[in-house]
Structure 1
Amino acid sequence: MPETVEIAIVSFKDSPSSPPQSWLDNLKAFASTPGLVALYFGQQIEHPDKYTWVARWTGQSAIDDFHNSPNFKAWADVYAAPLATSVIKTTQETTGEPSVPLDSPCTEFFINHGASDDFHKARLDPFIQKLVDAKLPGLIGGSTGEYKTVINVNEEVPEQKEVILLLGWVDKEAHTALQGEGSTIVSNLPMILPYSKGFNLYHVNLKKL
């Protein structure tokens, strides 16, 4: 059965140079939750004031059990207290193994907003397959998924369908080096870019907690 993936994007009040230690300790405690396969955390390279954590769950029922557990409210209060903004997205449908890009040294998050109905399977999946078939230097592997925003605090999040591509790279520079005119990536962008209303892209050197 496919894993359920949560992607969270947060920022902190007063823009500290690093997350409060008490908040990090609380997040690490979350890693031992029953049904949680793996938890990752890191700072966005392009936007240093924002951080991303990703949770791989055995399924949606494990998330529901966590939310209904006796200790959840106390944990959530500590989690939310220092945050200026918070967004959590949950997968509805995935292709590929999320562990591949998430366990890579650098993970690219390519978030497509307002995607067409056929965007995920008919456009994004063939796009990533072309990159894999080209054996791009520095590319480790990827996964795609349709996501729904389940928590939104002080952020503008489009309500339309979101489809997210996770790509694993040896480092951000490997990806950047392949973005020139005529490259495999750029040549295949017409497969996807006209079929969503916009996108965000960032990289994170995730650490497993």
Structure 2
Amino acid sequence: MPSPIEFLLIKFKPVFVSDPSAPPAVFSSVVSQLKAVPGVTTLYLGQPIEKPGTWVLGTRWESRDKYEAFIASSASTDFHAALRALLDQSPIINPIADYTHDVDGALNAPCTEFCTCWGVDESFHEERMHPFADPLDAAGLKGFYGMARGTFVQPAHEDPSVIPGIASRILLGWDSKEVHMSYKDVGSVIDDNVHLIMDRRKELEMYHVPLQKL
């Protein structure tokens, strides 16, 4: 069954950061607000290895109906205001998507790879991402835990690095970034099929996040 998940990329104001490896203490009250929302099943938080100073906050929902009810409520306004007060800029919101396949394997692994093709056409996910992902998912690679897949429409943002439009994403659970990278340029199943996602998109972005459940 698909799992609706929204991801936010956030950067805390320096005044709140005493330890760069941990979220600010004041963030705990914002987390408590979100945890109390009906329909929220799991919260995930982690720093991308490739993006120091940035945090990924993932919210997994019981259903889209629960999410939509939250968005329409005053609780959503209060949450976003409390979060925004802690941040350097507005959060980059990767909108809620119905992630399929092995969501638990992808998100509960020691390290989660976010592999996203930005600015794709409407058929890219089916015609390119799935054919790339299927052999990898079935290969039984050592140190691989599982994969989730989803697509969403990314809105524009004040950050010029954000590419608006359709996004195709896979989330891959690994033992570590190093394990993942050990399969690059060695004739692996990744090497065999990566050409499928090298065109029909504006950008390919990849980063690795040791996610923790909150």
Which one of the candidate residues 145, 162, 167 is aligned to 1:157? 162
Count of matched residue pairs: 209
Q: TM-score, normalised by structure 2?
A: 0.88
Deviations 1:50-80 (A, max 9, x none): 1101111122221222233343333222111
Q: Which amino acid aligns with 2:133?
A: I
Deviations 1:151-189 (A, max 9, x none): 845454212211111001112211011112422212211
Displacement over 4 Å in runs of 4+: none
Q: Identity percentage over the alignment? A: 30
Task: After TM superposition, list the pairs within 5 Å mapping 1:1-209 onto structure 2.
Answer: 2-14=2-14, 16=17, 17=20, 18-85=22-89, 86-149=91-154, 152=157, 154=159, 156-209=161-214
Stretches of structure 2 that go unaligned for 5 or more consecutive residues are none
Q: Which amino acid aligns with 1:158?
A: I
CA gap 1:136/1:153 in 2 versus in 1, 3 angstroms: same
Q: TM-score, normalised by structure 1?
A: 0.90
- 2 CA distance for matches of 1:173 and 1:156? 26
CA gap 1:42/1:208 in 2 versus in 1, 3 angstroms: same
Q: Which structure has the highest strand share of the two?
A: 1
> Do 1:37 and 1:58's aligned partners in 2 also have CA atoms closer than 8 Å?
yes
CA gap 1:110/1:95 in 2 versus in 1, 3 angstroms: same
Q: Which amino acid aligns with 1:65?
A: A
- 2 CA distance for matches of 1:36 and 1:122? 32
CA gap 1:141/1:89 in 2 versus in 1, 3 angstroms: same
Q: What is the SS of the residue equivalent to 1:99?
A: helix
CA gap 1:65/1:59 in 2 versus in 1, 3 angstroms: same
- 2 CA distance for matches of 1:112 and 1:203? 15
- 2 CA distance for matches of 1:96 and 1:2? 8
1:3 deviates by 2.5
Stretches of structure 1 that go unaligned for 5 or more consecutive residues are none
- 2 CA distance for matches of 1:155 and 1:2? 31
1:36 deviates by 1.0
> Do 1:4 and 1:90's aligned partners in 2 also have CA atoms closer than 8 Å?
no
- 2 CA distance for matches of 1:4 and 1:151? 21
> Do 1:113 and 1:162's aligned partners in 2 also have CA atoms closer than 8 Å?
yes
> Do 1:27 and 1:79's aligned partners in 2 also have CA atoms closer than 8 Å?
no
CA gap 1:142/1:3 in 2 versus in 1, 3 angstroms: same
Structure 1 window deviating more from structure 2 (18-27 vs 186-195): it is 18-27
CA gap 1:39/1:150 in 2 versus in 1, 3 angstroms: farther
> Do 2:156 and 2:164's aligned partners in 1 also have CA atoms closer than 8 Å?
no
CA gap 1:72/1:13 in 2 versus in 1, 3 angstroms: same
